[in-house]
Amino acid sequence: MPVIAKFYGMVIKMYFQQREHSPPHIHAVYGEYMGAVDIKTLTMLEGDLPPKALALVQEWTKTHQGTLLKMWNSQQFSALPPLE
């Protein structure tokens, strides 16, 4: 699972095999917490991210939504800038 961004102690990743992992989503790891966030709706699909961490991940995801969807569909991953 490639790392596509790191910011504020969070690591954002995406799986390679989209057919097995619908809907389009990213994985966020923050210390011992993890969560999967839907790229289109910005809702947490599963996990236990603290509310502030989830809000930062949602903000970052919204900023890069178009690029993340292209990555999901093409399976060509690249690093994205962190949340500032």
In this prediction, residue 20 carries a pLDDT of 59
- Which strands, in side-by-side order, build the sheet including 25-30? 3-7, 10-13, 25-30, 33-38, 44-47
Would you say residue 81 lies in a domain? Answer: no
Confidence of residue 56 (pLDDT cuts 50, 70, 90): very high
Read off the pLDDT of each residue in 63-70 and give the average, rounded to a whole number. Answer: 96
Q: What residues contact 32, with CB distance under 8 A and at least 6 apart?
A: none
The half-sphere exposure of 76 on its side-chain side, counting CA atoms within 13 A, is 3
In this prediction, residue 33 carries a pLDDT of 98
Q: Which residue has the higher pLDDT, 24 or 19?
A: 24
Residues 18 and 51: their CA atoms lie apart, in Å, by 27
In this prediction, residue 84 carries a pLDDT of 85
What's the total number of domains in the chain?
1
In this prediction, residue 17 carries a pLDDT of 66
Structural domain including 51 reads 3-74
Determine if the pTM surpasses 0.95.
no
